[in-house]
Amino acid sequence: MPSSDVMPGESLPTGEAKVRAVRGMFDAIAPRYDLVNRVMTFGLDRGWRRRAVRDLRLPAGALVLDLAAGTGDLCRDLQAAGHRPVGVDLSWGMLAAARTTAPLVQADVTRLPVPDGRADGATCGFALRNLADLDAFLAELARVVRPGGRVAVLEVSRPDSALLRWGHGVYFGKVVPRIGGLLSDRSAYRYLPRSAAYLPPPPELVERFEAAGFIAATRSPLAAGAAQLLVATRG
């Protein structure tokens, strides 16, 4: 893995080693990140992002932080919905490859340079498993979103059906690394499926949102459970 503290096959990194590994990996894969996403999700990720923006249910003109913004997919969808997004990402490489006119900030999303309650909402696409401290992120999310504000978070998941779960495991464990190897960096795309091990089970994930200060948290499976959307209101 480029600039990483761990190679596939070793134990997954934690703490600051994980921060360095993730930042280096995304710097390296940024140029072809969007292409690989489109191919390995069969284009479904576009619809997932649009649904996340729709489920925010915020009025036009709302200030929305897109955390772990990557190349700006969600920023573009937020702008299309009439919102005012600001993208934040740890990786300079991803920000350099971004295709959005929204303001972009390089920062650790667990330590945001944003005043308390400044944002009307926030989005985050497929980044929870790449964070060194999930609870610190949720606490920071609760700090910067105003009471009554909304958050929508996309993440990978595993289907409930045993058969679909088997097929999902084969696809993400075997096929995705091959796609990544052909189009980008094989090591990175061997790591990313394994990184789902960082995620808590869905009921616990919802509980952790609520413990951080969010109410009415809901989880919706997407694509037969291959992905998930978590939506909540700041209490």
Q: What percent of the chain has pLDDT over 90?
A: 70
Residue 19's nearest CA partner among 145, 132, 165, 122 is 132
| CB 52 within 8 Å of CB 28 | no
Residue 109's nearest CA partner among 23, 176, 207, 46 is 23
Mean pLDDT, the chain, whole residue set: 91
Q: Tell me the mean pLDDT in the region 65-88.
A: 98
Q: Could you give the domains of the chain? A: 15-160+188-234 (3.40.50.150)
Q: To the nearest 10°, the Cα dihedral for 207, 73, 47, 164?
A: -60
- When pLDDT is cut at 50, 70 and 90, the band that residue 187 belongs to is confident
pLDDT tens for each residue of 81-101: 999 999 999 999 999 999 999
- pTM: predicted TM-score of the whole model, two decimal places: 0.90
Q: Tell me the mean pLDDT in the region 105-125.
A: 98
| pLDDT for 1 beyond 60 | no
From CA 124, how far away is CA 80, in angstroms rounded? Answer: 17
Q: Tell me the mean pLDDT in the region 27-50.
A: 90
From CA 142, how far away is CA 115, in angstroms rounded? Answer: 12
Surface-to-core class of residue 18, CB atoms within 10 Å of its CB (0-12 exposed, 13-18 middle, 19+ buried): buried
Residue bearing the bigger pLDDT, 193 or 46? 46
Treating both helix axes as pointing N-terminal to C-terminal, what angle do 134-144 and 202-211 enclose, rounded to 10 degrees?
40
Residue 190's nearest CA partner among 4, 9, 38 is 9
- When pLDDT is cut at 50, 70 and 90, the band that residue 10 belongs to is low
- The DSSP letter of residue 2 is T
